[in-house]
Amino acid sequence: MLDIEPDWYADGPLLPIEFARVSRGDRLTLVIVENAPLQPTLWSMSRKLSLEEARGDLMAREGATSSKAIGSWPQVGAVDLRSKVVCDAIERWAIGKRLAGAVWTALGPKAPDSSHRRATDDELVGYLRTLKQAGRSAEAQRYIELAPPQIQTPLRARIRAELGWG
């Protein structure tokens, strides 16, 4: 569990987010995806006293084994060019909010076959349909339905239309 303040704010930066990562518990989770439509994000204040502590807290919550799985501003370590646009957007937003720093999950897409590539929407809907047919879709459905309602991605709309979730 993250060590954060209980309040969540709906005025986070607009980021390219989509349901694109097959994660623990068979969930299809939201991640930052290059060229995805921009979505409004939520944010909260960490109770940690330093950026490094906040990074470590998020890394532990995500079960990440590499510090590259956590993005930060000011930047810690090298940033790959793929995420530069996201880092710049978060930096502008954080400065506008007069925040001393920001951390976020920087895990990328992960396909149902466990490869670190962005699966097609057909593959992801097929994956969810297979879970549903096998009676293993409760966690996946719960995650999609509990995602913030303001996040209305193209894949979420398709999942709603085809599977009746969220």
Q: What is the average pLDDT across 64-70?
A: 88
* pLDDT at residue 80, rounded to an integer: 56
Please say whether the beta carbons of 63 and 24 come within 8 A: yes
- Per-domain residue ranges of the chain: 15-120
Contacts for 18 with CB less than 8 Å, ≥ 6 apart: 30, 31, 33, 36, 37, 153, 154, 155
Please say whether the beta carbons of 160 and 121 come within 8 A: no
pLDDT band at 150 (very low <50, low <70, confident <90, very high): very high
Contacts for 9 with CB less than 8 Å, ≥ 6 apart: 42, 43, 44
Q: What is the pTM of this model?
A: 0.91
CA dist., res. 66 & res. 38, Å (int): 26
Q: What is the pLDDT of residues 70-125, one digit of tens each?
A: 999 997 765 554 578 898 999 999 999 999 999 999 999 999 999 999 999 999 99
* pLDDT at residue 78, rounded to an integer: 58
Phi then psi for residue 86, to 5 deg, are -65, -45
Calculate ∠ Cα 60-21-134, nearest 5°: 110
Contacts for 74 with CB less than 8 Å, ≥ 6 apart: 51, 101
Instruction: Determine how many CB atoms are found less than 10 A away from the CB of residue 97.
Output: 13
Phi then psi for residue 21, to 5 deg, are -130, 120
Question: Residue 122: enclosing H or E segment and its boundaries?
Answer: helix 121-133
Q: What is the pLDDT of residues 4-45, one digit of tens each?
A: 999 999 999 999 999 999 999 999 999 999 889 999 999 999
* Angle in degrees, 0-180, between the axes of helices 154-163 and 138-146, rounded to the nearest 10: 130
* pLDDT at residue 77, rounded to an integer: 63
